[in-house]
Structure 1
Amino acid sequence: MADDPSRTGDAAEEVAATRGTDADSAADADSSPQARPENDDDTRDDRGVVVPTAVYKRVTVFSTLIAVVAVVGGFLVLDVATDRATAELSEIDPLVALVGVGLIAFGAVTYAFSTRFRAEGMGNAKDDTDEPSNNG
């Protein structure tokens, strides 16, 4: 009769058995710096850029404005290229349609890039665990 896995001592041994490694190397992998950071500095998002509040406000306002104008303009250009989505496939201007799609993508990339900026003193919402779990 095979051994019951629930009766073995360590979960690392079970993981090691399924992966084909020994328990010591599985335990070492769990304690590696990538698996378990030592302090809060390691858990910070390296892609975020901390800037002064005035710069943050300008980046947020102008990047949002550029993104909205680019996306709306892209849809307008795409609408012109497809004649309000009523044109036959042979009547669509592919170059104008690609420009429209490119403007939409440019607006999305601009907005996504702007979300990397943070003002001094701003935390990252996904890193906050100080809030209580009860909202009532």
Structure 2
Amino acid sequence: MSDDERGREVVVPERLYKSVTVFSTLFAVVTVVLGFVSLDQATNSGRAAASEVSVPLAVLGVGFIAAGGLVYAFASRFRARGMVKDKDSDDESTDNG
């Protein structure tokens, strides 16, 4: 593993890893669902004319979706001690994609 790859991962104790995984996934799912609900309300289920769309509610919806995606992406950096990515394991060739 190169120094660049190691800099992207945070090795934490297993208990903290489990907590981060559970709560970040929960937060991501809830915010993405809230984002789509907000967009649905802002556009009246996609039937509203452009002049009738609630722009602040639509922006809030997109913000919720982005926040959920960012939290999930950053939480994926955490690794418990002893965890290895599949493509980094010894039984796989390095050119497998």
Q: Common fold, TM-score beyond 0.5? A: yes
Provide runs of 4+ in structure 1 moved above 6 Å: none
For 1:13-69, what per-residue CA distance to the aligned partner results, in whole angstroms no more than 9, with x for missing partners? xxxxxxxxxxxxxxxxxxxxxxxxxxx554743110000000000000000000000
| Higher RCO by CA contacts (8 Å cutoff, separation 6 or greater) | 2
Unaligned runs of 5+ in 1: 1-39
TM-score (norm 2): 0.88
CA RMSD of aligned residues (A): 1.6
Amino acid at match of 1:61: V
Does residue 117 of the first structure (1) align with residue 78 of the second (2)? yes
Does residue 59 of the first structure (1) align with residue 23 of the second (2)? no
Aligned residues: 93
Task: Tell me how far apart the structure 2 counterparts of residues 80 and 41 of structure 1 sit (CA, whole Å).
Answer: 47
Task: Tell me how far apart the structure 2 counterparts of residues 83 and 107 of structure 1 sit (CA, whole Å).
Answer: 23
Output aligned runs, 1:89-104, within 5 Å: 89-104=50-65
Specify which structure has the higher proportion of helix.
2
Tell me which residue corresponds to 2:8: 47
Larger Rg: 1
Output aligned runs, 1:1-136, within 5 Å: 40=1, 42=3, 44-131=5-92
Instruction: Name the stretch that deviates more: 120-129 or 45-54.
Output: 120-129
Task: Tell me how far apart the structure 2 counterparts of residues 41 and 105 of structure 1 sit (CA, whole Å).
Answer: 30
Deviation of 1:123 (Å): 1.0
Unaligned runs of 5+ in 2: none
Amino acid at match of 1:91: E
SS for the counterpart of 1:122 is coil
